[in-house]
Amino acid sequence: MHAHGKTPLATLVGLPAVVGVLAALAATLFTSLVHGAEQLFWTWLPNVLGLDGVPWWWVLLLLLLGALGVGGASRLPGHGGHHPLDGFAFDITAHELPSTLLAAASSLVFGVVLGPEAPLLAIGTSVGFAVHRRLGTDLSRVLVMAAAAAALGVVLGNPVVTMLLVLEAMFLSARPRPEQPLYQVVPILAALGAGYVVRIGIDSWPGIHVPELSMGDIGTYPVLHVVDLFAGVVVAAVAAGLVVAATRGGGAMRRLAARGPFVALLAGGLTIGVLAVLVRAGTGAEVSTVLFSGQESLSTVTASTAAGTLLVVVVAKSVAYSVSLGTGFHGGTIFPSVFIGATVGAAAALLVPGTALAPLAACGIAAAAAAAAGMPVTALVLALLLCVSAGPAVTVPAILGSLMGTLLKGFFDARRPAAVLDSGVQTSSEPT
């Protein structure tokens, strides 16, 4: 991106702020509709039909409906958007947006183990591209990233974490140029700030709230203990190992699914449903603990006192995550990894005497998120966002987890052919 003399403040800050508000509103609408649809299919309809809770056949039926929705979206322009194993994408335009949102909604609403990051990025980038096309300048191109950041900030719940994620994605995709802090960082930050107003409100307007990541009560942790560091090494290795195994398994399934995409979707939906039903039968845990992104179940696992149940849940969740990634469903990869890391940490805190929940959860989250996205700084800050309320001492275990997750992912990625690496960042460019 090239500097063109004096850049008007309206271009550098004002326009990104407007775009940020539009993207945040659209993202909030999407997440609200998804949440409402989840309530409709998983709570309201079973009650209206007089079902005893959510019977096993209802779980399987809904996941099959999700597979049908994704299969239908794949036949529309855009083919349902990018595959979740292809990493973050910042190139979805309004032309591809309907199929992208249909595929993502079909996955998220009906319980597939993927997160909402991908469709929110798609919403943001389509808004950014719409404005960019009207302006047609090099400087307006950054609006795509700015709008994507504002939309993603709706669910991440913190502009700083979102900013770091976008910046780290940009850094990994291309060598930064000297002018980028001014002409890319400032507009993105302006869009994030304006978009965040949609979430928190201003003056007497309370804002529009959506479900966000929350760990619940994880206690206090003001002082670092050596036992937590030793246990953290194991937690990080297990959490990152589960995520790496899930993504590698998903990559293998993806190649098989290419031979019969629709059959793979149906088989994947049934497999995920069966896993959830079996875990409920064996442990009493709700099917929602295995299904969905895990965004709304974090406080459930951190409050659990049954280590055995947590271990069963995290293994089943990891398998369901892998199946979701590999059989053609659409969504993001970060939120399920956060759940996996938190659950491993919670189980370890129950199993290892003298350890605390907060540092092990922070370590597990950072390790799992780093292994999923390959972004150590984002993983670290995300773990701190969720756990630092317990005390500043969680920072060291979180750094430990971020380092181990990144190194473990790098180790296994280095042993794979470049053509099958399961992560990447697709940056915004004007589609042809």
Tens of pLDDT, residue by residue over 311-352, are 999 999 999 999 999 999 999 899 999 999 999 999 999 999
What is the spatial distance between Cα 429 and Cα 432, in angstroms, rounded to a whole number?
9
C-alpha pair distances (Å), 224 with each of 128, 221, 283, 390: 44, 7, 33, 12
Q: Is residue 220 domain-resident?
A: no
Both 85 and 175 in a single domain? yes
| CATH number (domain holding residue 116) | 1.10.3080.10
- How many domains does the chain contain in total? 2
pLDDT at 203 over 70: no
Dihedral (CA of 338, 341, 347, 348) sign: negative
Both 342 and 381 in a single domain? yes
Both 126 and 259 in a single domain? no
Structure letter (DSSP) for residue 7: P
Both 48 and 98 in a single domain? yes
The pLDDT assigned to 4 comes to 46
Look at residues 200, 234, 265 and tell me which one is the last residue of a structural domain: 200
Both 245 and 114 in a single domain? no
pLDDT band at 179 (very low <50, low <70, confident <90, very high): very low
CB distance 156 to 124 below 8 Å: no
Q: Is residue 298 domain-resident?
A: yes
Domain coverage including residue 70: 9-200
Q: Which residues contact 128 (CB under 8 A, 6 or more apart)?
A: 19, 23, 143, 144, 145, 146, 147, 148, 428
Q: Is residue 210 domain-resident?
A: no
Average pLDDT, integer, range 171-194: 62
Tens of pLDDT, residue by residue over 71-110, are 999 999 988 988 898 877 778 888 899 999 999 999 999 9
Both 91 and 126 in a single domain? yes
Q: Is residue 153 domain-resident?
A: yes
Tens of pLDDT, residue by residue over 32-55, are 999 999 999 999 999 999 998 899
Q: Is residue 221 domain-resident?
A: no
The pLDDT assigned to 3 comes to 43
What is the spatial distance between Cα 262 and Cα 64, in angstroms, rounded to a whole number?
11
Judged by average pLDDT, the poorest of 71-85, 90-104, 188-202, 357-371 is 188-202
pLDDT at 384 over 80: yes
What is the spatial distance between Cα 400 and Cα 29, in angstroms, rounded to a whole number?
37
Average pLDDT, integer, range 260-276: 96
